[in-house]
Amino acid sequence: MKKWISVALPKGRLGDQVYDMLERSGYDCPEIRSGSRKLIFENEEVGVRYFEVKPTDVVKYVERGSADVGIAGKDILLEYDPDVYELLDLGIGKCRMCVAGPKDWEDDNERTLRVATKFTRITAVYFAGKGRDIDLIKLHGSIELAPIVGLSDVIVDIVETGKTLKENDLEVKEEIVPISARFIANKASFQFRTAEIEAMRDALARETAGNK
């Protein structure tokens, strides 16, 4: 009997795009398109099982081995630093992790910089690398509001089109790191099922060739 490969897919547009790529490569699972509220979708014939989870949770399922492989943004990998293998840059979900602030704001090195973000680890590492003292303010959403109402001086957040910054009179001050989606694997799964996981990675790599 064929053993399942479990794939943690991030819910939303990125997950949909990656599923399309896998479907074209033969890892199809028609039930996933049924609009059902189920969270697990299986295709026994192919031996693939998909979990749909919140993008930030993908790394938890993969790191602890509940899923053999998964798709996670580089932002999530840098922030949570999970003990997984990063096997492929999918070249989609591209954006930039940036420091942003009001257009008229100028940095004053004499003062502690107040930084609002969801990405506290990335932010702490980045400013520590610059030798800059910061007051780190962890938020969970609507980060762009913080400098507008004086909660912080700047923010660290993802910029994709730049529309959110523009509409809130903010601008990019510094770029920290480019981001894209990565194919990741649980370390033990990769050790025991190398050929199957590499086959999936290679199929995605063929689909990805035009994305880079």
Cβ 165 to ligand PRP, closest distance in Å?
6
Task: Name 111's Cβ contacts closer than 8 Å, sequence gap at least 6.
Answer: none
Take residue 184 and report the two structure tokens written for it: 């990741």
Q: Which is nearer to ligand PRP, 145 or 199 (CB)?
A: 145
For ligand PRP, the binding residues (CB under 6 A) are 141, 143, 157-164
| Minimum CB distance to ligand PRP smaller for 61 or for 119 | 119
> CB 157: neighbour CB atoms within 10 A?
25
Beta strands in 11-168 (DSSP E): 40-43, 48-53, 69-73, 85-89, 95-102, 113-117, 134-138, 154-159
200 vs 178: CA distance, rounded Å: 25
Q: Please, what is the minimum distance in Å from the beta carbon of residue 45 to ligand PRP?
A: 35
Nearer to ligand PRP, 143 or 176 (CB): 143
| Residues composing the chain | 212
Cβ proximity to ligand PRP: between 73 and 82 the closer is 73
**Sheet holding 85-89: strands in order across?**
40-43, 48-53, 5-10, 69-73, 181-185, 85-89
Distance CA 191, CA 177 (A): 30
Report the nearest approach of ligand PRP to the CB of residue 123 (Å). Answer: 13
Q: How far is the CB of 140 from ligand PRP (least distance, A)?
A: 8
Q: Provide the token pair at 193.
A: 């099922």
Q: How far is the CB of 118 from ligand PRP (least distance, A)?
A: 7
| 66 vs 164, beta carbon nearer ligand PRP | 164
